[in-house]
């Protein structure tokens, strides 16, 4: 029975390639960083979990042929892409509309009080509504698969490994951002400025996602 994992040299190449791709900033990384800086480490951890589940959903979609549909149907790809872009813009507007702090009061977080369930949901939607991720899996994973073994089983296994690596790199971003957050918070006017930076990041990311024709994992 063919092994579902590639040979050791090919597996090492897959792990290094996955690490290099996962650590490159993209929509998921920006989402995780923004949530962490705005609402703290707990929010960052919840966002990492949501993004990981969304990416796993895309890996599953690639395994069952969803990526092939996106590749041949520009309409299907566009619908999902613009839905994801609209959601990012919605998050930016939500951050922009956060209430201004009253004199003598601390600024409210850009997204309001941190609610792990809502943050998890937002991260899941941001990652899942990125059809470029499914297409990335469909293009990247076959390079490390054995034609004699089950394509679905191999793509699910390798996809899960990639998602795990991406989650680890996202956690590194969370810990780095949470370590910097207190220093940023002590800066005068940091609360109001952070709200505008957060809103600009999400709205800009949504516009960039809508206009982008390229294909990337994160």
More confident residue, 217 or 178: 178
**pLDDT at position 154:** 84
Residue by residue, what is the 3-state secondary structure of the chain? CCCCCCCHHHHHHHHHHHHHHHCCCCHHHHHHHHHHHHHCHHHHHHHHHHHHHHHHHHHHHHHCCHHHHHHHCHHHHHHHHHHHHHHHHHHHHHHHCCCCCCCCCCCCCCCCCCCHHHHHHHHHHHHHCCHHHHHHHHHHHHHHCCCCCCHHHHHHHHHHHHHHHHHHHHHHHHHHHHHHHHHHHCCCCHHHHHHHHHHHHHHHHHHHHHHCCCCCCC
**pLDDT at position 175:** 94
The residue ranges of every structural domain in the chain are 8-211
Per-residue pLDDT band for 215 (boundaries 50, 70, 90) equals: very low
The answer to pTM > 0.85 is: no
């Amino acid at each position: 029975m063919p092994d579902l994992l590639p040979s050791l040299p090919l597996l090492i190449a897959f792990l290094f390639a996955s690490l290099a791709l996962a650590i490159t900033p993209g929509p998921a990384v920006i989402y995780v960083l923004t949530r962490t800086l705005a609402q703290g480490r707990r929010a960052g951890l919840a966002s990492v979990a949501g993004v990981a589940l969304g990416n796993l959903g895309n890996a599953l979609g690639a395994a069952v042929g969803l990526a092939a549909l996106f590749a041949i149907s520009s309409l299907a790809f566009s619908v999902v892409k613009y839905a994801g872009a609209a959601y990012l813009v919605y998050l930016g507007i939500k951050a922009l509309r956060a209430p201004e702090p009253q004199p003598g009061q601390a600024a409210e977080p850009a997204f309001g009080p941190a609610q792990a369930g809502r943050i998890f949901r937002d991260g899941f939607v941001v990652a899942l509504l990125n059809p470029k991720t499914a297409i990335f899996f469909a293009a990247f994973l076959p390079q490390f698969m054995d034609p004699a073994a089950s394509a679905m089983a191999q793509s699910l296994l390798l996809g899960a490994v990639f998602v795990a690596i991406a989650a680890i790199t996202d956690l590194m971003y969370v810990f780095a951002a949470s370590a910097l957050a207190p220093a940023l918070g002590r800066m005068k006017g940091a609360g109001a400025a952070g709200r505008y930076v957060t809103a600009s990041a999400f709205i800009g990311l949504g516009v960039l996602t809508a206009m982008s024709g390229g294909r990337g994992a994160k």
